[in-house]
A and B are shown apart, each in its own frame.
Chain A
Amino acid sequence: MSQRLRLNPIACEAHGMCAELLPERIMLDEWGYPVIDGEPLEPALVDHAKRAAQSCPTFALLLERDRTRD
């Protein structure tokens, strides 16, 4: 079962922790907000993604199970 990252753009306040913890998949735009592609995460990155989501000060980063591929 694959997992994906999703952002709550209303909650996000551009702290930028996520991009520090998961630079492989998250970059920041010119205003400091994360750009997330929403593609399934490769298994090697899931733990890092989990840490990025848990570290978000506003709980704006969500790690979601991909329901379509399980």
Chain B
Amino acid sequence: MTGSSPLMTDAPPIAEPDVAPALPRLLAGIPAHGAMSLQEHLTVHGPAPVSGKRGRRNPSALIDRIDRAGLGGRGGAGFPTATKMRAVAGARRRAIVVANAAEGEPASLKDRTLLQKLPHLVLDGAILAAEAIGADEAIICVCESAVATVDSAAQAIDERLRTSRQSSSAMAELRSDRSPRLQLATVPQHYVAGQESALVNHLNGGPAIPTFTPPMPFEAGVRRRPTLINNAETLAHIALIARHGSQWFRQLGTPTQPGSTLVTLSGPVAHPGVYEIEHGASLASLLEAAGGTTARLRAALVGGYAGSWIGEERLRGLALSDEHLAPHGASMGAGVVLLLGEEACPVAETARAARWLAGQSTGQCGPCIYGLDALATTVEEIAGGLVTATAMQRLDRLASLVSRRGACGHPDGAVNFILSAADTFATEFADHARHGRCDACAQPGVLPLPAQPGKPTVPRKAVVR
């Protein structure tokens, strides 16, 4: 926050009461075109603090600071980041950090945007996290289809290497000679490719599909070493918490969900895209920042395709934090807010999404293979009409048969999405079941879904650059 940032140690920063909680934080100075260079990054944020002596037996005080900040993971599950770091730091073998920007969620763009535009924030976080847990290596994982992000991340890593080789005194703060080795790996585009065990499996040379746990990645992950997998945005927050401290972080957000968060807003708004909001901010303020809606809304999908629908009548006054969303059966997930306009048919949209989700099963667990297919078929039958009244009961029964029976959370997320749609759009579902397709059914789908459900059935080796 200060102009000439002295090298900070792990001592807590001096509180600056005159500094008002302000946004943007992560997105500060985001360039309209191209990526922020290392020099610009250091001008905007100052150098990353030097952590004290650390080793596998002496984890950095940064973890305590992240704990006090109350940082939760931003990949969807919201697990406390400090707890995760401690689990890896306490392991006997040398750890590895994985920065997860696989972002298989089609309605989310925040990780690829962050890493494309502001790569050094993520790299800072990866390096700081690696130092804090005594890791000597950090692997940045990016979806192979996000070409611009892959290029930008590769350039940023090169930039750091060049800078450390020049090793000028001005850049001495970077301490790159002691920094963990940075690597880039691409991940196939698939809904569950970014799931932790799938990512580990992929980085170990297998297909990017989930494995049976334990061992958990923090016990035996990449090359059987204890592996800290953090979402790219989570690491970017670590880069700022290391600089400004936990009190600063808590100046925004709610007591139970502190800080700011990136949100991918899409649907009928003037300017869809990635926004940074504080947890607990109103949906109305987000929509205003995006230039307002361009159509009457029917509902919003919060949390992505594993998330929940919230009907239009409940959108007014809605605040975006897990505690505010909980009464609506929703959570922030990976920060997805997808608006559905009134002109779209929610039943046809749900049928398309359910079929897509079934296609994203990696085909390993029976209940997921057959259950999601049966669920998608049932939604399609309802959307097509002329079904008996038991079709809705069949949805519930199938859902209970699928939930919690896969090796990963994919079937649970899909079930949540489908049941939430059936609940939020109960009237529309009942109308379709009785009378068949509506006029809006014939329209092309509006929910963003990749055209080809890429199935990682053929093992593809991780491309480590």
Contact = CB atoms under 8 A, between A and B. Distances in A.
B212 A33 contact: no
Nearest to A11: B212
A33 B364 contact: no
Identify which of A10, A13, A30, A31 gathers the most chain B CB atoms within 10 Å of its CB. Answer: A10
Interface in B343-375: 364-368, 370-371
Contacts of A33: 366-367, 370, 405
B401 A30 contact: yes
A31 B366 contact: yes
B370 A9 contact: no
A10 B367 contact: no
Given A8-B212, A33-B366, 19 more contacts: A8-B407, A9-B212, A9-B367, A9-B368, A9-B406, A9-B407, A10-B364, A11-B212, A12-B366, A13-B366, A14-B366, A29-B367, A29-B401, A30-B370, A31-B371, A33-B367, A33-B370, A35-B401, A35-B405
A13 B212 CA distance: 14
Nearest to A8: B212
Nearest to B406: A9
A63 B211 CA distance: 19
A44 B288 CA distance: 64
Interface size class of B (residues with CB under 8 A): 10 to 19
Given A9-B406, A9-B407, A11-B212, A32 B366 contact: yes
Interface SS, A side: loop
Contacts, number: 38
Interface residues of A, number: 13
Contacts of A30: 370, 401
Identify which of A9, A11, A32, A35 gathers the most chain B CB atoms within 10 Å of its CB. Answer: A9
A9 B405 contact: yes
Query: What 3 A-B pairs are tightest by C-beta distance, nearest first?
Result: A9-B365, A33-B366, A31-B370
Nearest to B362: A10
Contacts of B211: 10
23 contacts: A8-B407, A9-B364, A9-B367, A9-B405, A9-B407, A10-B210, A10-B211, A10-B212, A10-B364, A10-B365, A10-B407, A12-B365, A12-B366, A13-B366, A29-B366, A30-B370, A30-B401, A31-B366, A31-B367, A31-B371, A33-B367, A33-B370, A35-B401
A7 to B, nearest CB: 8
Interface in A1-34: 8-14, 29-33
A29 to B, nearest CB: 5
Interface string B99-130: 00000000000000000000000000000000
Contacts of A29: 366-367, 401
Contacts of A32: 366
Contacts of B366: 9, 12-14, 29, 31-33
A18 to B, nearest CB: 13
Interface string B403-414: 001110000000
Nearest to A29: B401
A38 B116 CA distance: 44
A35 to B, nearest CB: 7
Contacts of B212: 8-11
Nearest to A30: B401
Identify which of A8, A11, A32, A33 gathers the most chain B CB atoms within 10 Å of its CB. Answer: A33
Contacts of A35: 401, 405
A56 to B, nearest CB: 14
Contacts of A10: 210-212, 364-365, 407
